[in-house]
Structure 1
Amino acid sequence: MNDQNKSRQRQEETPKNALGGASAANSSSGLRKLFAKRYVSPAIFMAAAAIIVTLMWIYQGSDPAEETTAPVGSEVTQEDEANDVQGGVANEGGGDEAVEVIADASKMTWPVGNLSELQVETKFYDMNASEADKEAALIQVDNEISPHTGIDFVDPNGETFDVLAALEGKVSHVEQHPTNGYIIEISHGDGLVTVYQSLTNVQVEEGDEVGQGTVIAQAGRSDLERDLGIHLHFETRLNGETVNPSNYIAE
């Protein structure tokens, strides 16, 4: 009985296996036929490529800043370069000399109000002066003898006095020097600068434009020439070199 049941079971299963095998064979044969057609592989390749391109476009489109950064940066850079060129040209023609008053040096006056009430204590050391004047224009600094680079004015009574701008110009430097006292420098253009040392009660600041005769300070003291007491040390410089102030002042 059992043998009959097993036999019947095998008979029932056999068609199913045969049918399944036939179906698998038919499917495999159908796929081979499908891929055997010439248009199928290119179509699949094109579809895959389209999907990849679409994904890349979506990815890039999600970050708009990445697309606009380069051109915007390029435009700004070009504009900045143009501004730099213009700024460079402007600076070449607009240095300190351009903003300073170009004064007529021949109109320079002594930097004191009442010259007749004062006396010149030490003159400028001029190589063209007489031997006596050159000797009188030597000063002792520590243990060294040096030529005097300016003119010293003092009041016979030891009083202070107003210090005036010898020529119109722009205040280019103000400093409290450890040995020369307060210093004021005024630029007049064309490389001409007047220097005022041993000052007190300074009344101007760097950048101020002053007219000729403007009170800029008062005579004071300095450690360098302390033996003079209250005095004014006055210099003129041309392109950084000290020159005789008397050469610029009409007597």
Structure 2
Amino acid sequence: MIKGDKSQSTLKTKFKRFTQKRWAVPALYLGCGALVLTTVFVLQDRNEEVAVNPQQQVSYEENGQDVTFGPDEAVEVNSQVEKMALPVEDPSAVTVHRAFYDQEASAEEQQNALVVVNQTYYPNLGVDLVQSGESFNVTAAMSGTVTLVQEDPFIGNAVEIEHEDGLVTRYQAVQDIAVASGDKVMQGQVIATSGVSELNPDAGTHVHFEVYKDDVAVDPISFSE
């Protein structure tokens, strides 16, 4: 017999003697169980570390495109997009005295949407809102930042607010202005009260409301519907 076979036979003999002892089998079971539990705990700790690792990049699919964000980025869930509203507390209480000049409107509607200044006709770039000749609060149509507060008797005092996505709103013929340039305002916040202007004396107490999208005037009524 070669030396390797003799060593292997000796090991088998020792193992057989070991297993014949009364405490050997329970000890083996306990040792295996401890090894299994240790493995489970190590894997669990690694999974928890991966789940809470703030330096990890996370990827997911949205509309067929892969989106990845890192540790300094957050994904807003169920975010609500703010929709523009008319700049009054009760839209049902106001009426349109002069509408926005629409290139696709009828000839009669376009004529009624013209502004006359020194016997020259100009298209109305906003809407003039009145409330039965009564004064009313003028509110921010959307949340944003006040970029202009101007006193001008011809157009009426004016407030301009800049919003997200290239939107700007202008409020003219107002008085008792309650905001200043640089103020952050929330949608529905009172920024002034309705007033008068030399540009549109026939409207009486009103607010002239304009909306611009990427510097292009749009119809405030259709934009806020």
On whether the aligned pair clears a TM of 0.5, the verdict is yes
1:18-167 alignment to 2 at 5 Å?
104=81, 107-156=83-132, 158-167=133-142
In 2 relative to 1, CA 175–229 (structure 1 residues): closer, same or farther, beyond 3 Å? same
- Partners of 1:230 and 1:124 lie apart in 2 by 18
Aligned residue among 163, 166, 174 for 1:188 = 163
RMSD, aligned α-carbons: 1.6
1:229-244 alignment to 2 at 5 Å?
229-244=204-219
Map of 1:246 onto structure 2: 221
- Partners of 1:201 and 1:118 lie apart in 2 by 19
Rg larger in structure: 1
- Partners of 1:179 and 1:197 lie apart in 2 by 10
Shift of 1:246: 2.5
How many residue pairs match? The answer is: 146
Map of 2:188 onto structure 1: 213
- Partners of 1:185 and 1:217 lie apart in 2 by 12
Aligned-partner SS, 1:247: helix
Aligned-partner SS, 1:180: coil
- Partners of 2:142 and 2:157 lie apart in 1 by 19
TM-score by length of 2: 0.62
TM-score by length of 1: 0.55
Shift of 1:132: 2.2
Aligned residue among 172, 177, 182 for 1:197 = 172
Percent identity reads: 40
Q: Please state which structure has a larger fraction of its residues in helix.
A: 1
In 2 relative to 1, CA 134–104 (structure 1 residues): closer, same or farther, beyond 3 Å? farther
Q: Which amino acid is 2:106 matched to?
A: S
After superposition, what is the alpha-carbon deviation per residue over 1:86-142, rounded to whole angstroms, capped at 9, x for unaligned?
Answer: xxxxxxxxxxxxxxxxx956x101111122222110000011222222121112112
After the TM superposition, which of the residue ranges 204-213 and 115-124 deviates more from structure 2?
Answer: 115-124
- Partners of 2:161 and 2:152 lie apart in 1 by 16
Shift of 1:233: 0.2
Shift of 1:147: 0.9
Q: Which amino acid is 2:171 matched to?
A: Y
Structure 1: segments with no counterpart, 5+ residues: 1-102
- Partners of 2:167 and 2:81 lie apart in 1 by 10
Q: Please state which structure has a larger fraction of its residues in strand.
A: 2
After superposition, what is the alpha-carbon deviation per residue over 1:60-89, rounded to whole angstroms, capped at 9, x for unaligned?
Answer: xxxxxxxxxxxxxxxxxxxxxxxxxxxxxx
Aligned-partner SS, 2:85: coil
